Structure 1
Amino acid sequence: MDYPRSVLSSGLVDGKFVDEDAIAGTPGSLIPASWGNSVTQEILSAITAAGLKPDELQTDQLAQAIRQLSKPDPLQQFPVQVYRRNVLINGGFEIWQRGTTNQGPNIGGYVADRFRCDWNGSAAVNISRQVFPLGQTDVPGEPACFLRWQQTAAGAGATTHKVSQSIESVRTLAGKTATLTFWARSDAVRPLRVAIAQQFGAGGSEAVVKVVDVFQLNTTWTRHTATFQVPAIAGKMKGVNDCLTLSFDLPLNVLQTVDLTRIQLEEGPVSTPFEYRSFAEELLLCQRYFEKSFVNGLAIKANNGTNTCTATFTQIPTGNTGQYGMTIGFLVQKRVQPTVTAYCPGENSNQVWNQAMSKACTGTTLQSVAERGLSFATVTPVGSAPGQTLQLEWTADAEI
């Protein structure tokens, strides 16, 4: 909406309406019918969008309409645009610090950050990050990635085929109404059982499991949602590593391909649009639970090469001498004291590597570790000298 600048006969002065000045002999501005109608129509559009009936004798209807249109959904306790709705991390499957596939068809665990993939019964499963083509419309909102579970050997006697995420603190959503939303497809019509488990941790009460729903997947991307009541935890005992676990249970002992993306778990009875966070922010959230020294895209293993190793130190003592306090600060403070694994960049070992000599140190040990960082100690190679470069790769795991 703007002044009728394109209508020269409207008589605007400096782009605005003016009154007639009889003394000075200057005419007043004219309001063109087209402009007056468009202004009225714009106000009427806001009034009717708010569900109100226009009344020419009522002079506060626009104010009423603005208040009505700015209200959140009456069933939701906060507006759609409120930050931090999704209690899950990496629900769009963009972060894969450990690599974009599992290390083998019989190796599960964490692949996509914060999501575990577990199976048994001699099944063979490939877990991988898949990328949506640009401009696709099957899943709206231009998502980037999805997780694929591709079972290449059905196996036998399985008791679990599961994708899950454990959310820190069993207090999460306890006693509240929650809504789960996700997108999925499969190579055939298949059931997908979704459940939550309130796990009170070591030394705490027995876990409480609740089935959210059993969804029927099909060969096209479909949005699924369910609203449910999370059990209250009054009278329960909390132990160590308590959490709320959301699980997607796939069919057992069958060849299958299942794709998942845009998983959101939020408080309230309304399924809201997927909460997008930037890649950088999502990565920081993931690094509270897992962090690595390796360059992104590089496999986590020993003997990966020294050119990409960023964890470097300067040798202080002479050869065959202990060097201590090689300290590394984490980018993000960990949930708990992490489990640290060391990898030599120049050979298949866990030793510090002397880059100048292309030779491993000996006796490399984890000197100290805390939520904020770690410290290594080692014995420098025989014949090495002060000022040479020492290297070591590492991972720090604080998953639940």
Structure 2
Amino acid sequence: MTQTRRMQVLRAVVEDYIRTQEPVGSAALIARHDLHVSSATIRKDMSALEEEGYLVQPHTSAGRVPTERGYRYFVDTLATVVPLSETQRRAIHTFLDDSVNLQDTLQRAAHLLSRFTGQVAVVASPSLSKSRLWHLELVPVSANSILAVVVTDTGRVAQHVLSVAQLPSRDHLRSLSDTVNERCGSMTLRAAAAHIRTLRYGDDLQDVRELPDMLAQAFESMADEERTHELFMSGVSTLAHQQASAQDLAPLFDALEERAVLMHLMTELSETPDVRGVGVAIGSETNTPGLIHAAVVTSGYGASESSDGVDTPTDGMHEPIAFVGSIGPTHMNYAATMASVRAVAKYLTTFLGNTGTSKTSMAS
């Protein structure tokens, strides 16, 4: 019973500190929470929590503030993620439904998420390595080069120039692209590359026999693309204006410049979410010095089901193709941030699921 009450005290301290950013004392807890014990008992519990590493006392006569371990316990024991209000849900559709293409949608999503949380929002473009082939077009551009234009199921357009010794006829290029579209449609680019290498052509396609390996290499190159530049970010200036956190957040702004680091961290979190569909890293858990006083909340979007049986896990799990995330101080409102991140991720998943009839306009 004592341990249960003690953790209730911890939750109350975290809640109050998130709300006020001021050290929390026993008197404040008695006044704001129905803990049904004396102030002396609360002080004893807070002292025990400090010894256990959940709280810290900044000054001798001050109240306590949560440690990283305290925040972690709080996040792990959130029973539910508070749903967004009807106004917020309506705002998502009102603001994002007016987007003109995928890039505009992702930028708007970052802006909206930042507005909801008051923190830095980061939205990544769908990963080419996880996207699936929707359409291939082979276009001759010179006497010795062909432009391979790949449109994915997420609406992304990727291009790669193939250099050839002899340019095949347009009819033969069309036949090759039709064959790839028919046999490799809905495969990931890497799976499509493996399948393209197995294709066999009749005598009427002799002059395109050199292309399969080149095309397969192009697909693999696209799948390997790092794409750290495809991050849409919003809210840096908003967070910078939170003067009370300026000192702790200064290293965070430097960390935001390391986009490859953010990409790796947030991708990893989105691919290993908790039962609530989000991944949360607090302070040192980010393994990023600049984020030691920050927390990251991330959710994957566009989860796709394996269907080609070539390069996908055998456990049949779905895997997100990109992520939505929020970065802020460790005293962020975790419940609200998790709800906002999850809601925006859900919208983007639905948006991508509806692109089957509008890929051309998305890619324009």
TM-score between the two structures when normalised by the length of structure 2: 0.27
Rg comparison, structure with higher value: 1
Structure number having the greater helix percentage: 2
Report the structure, 1 or 2, having the larger strand content.
1
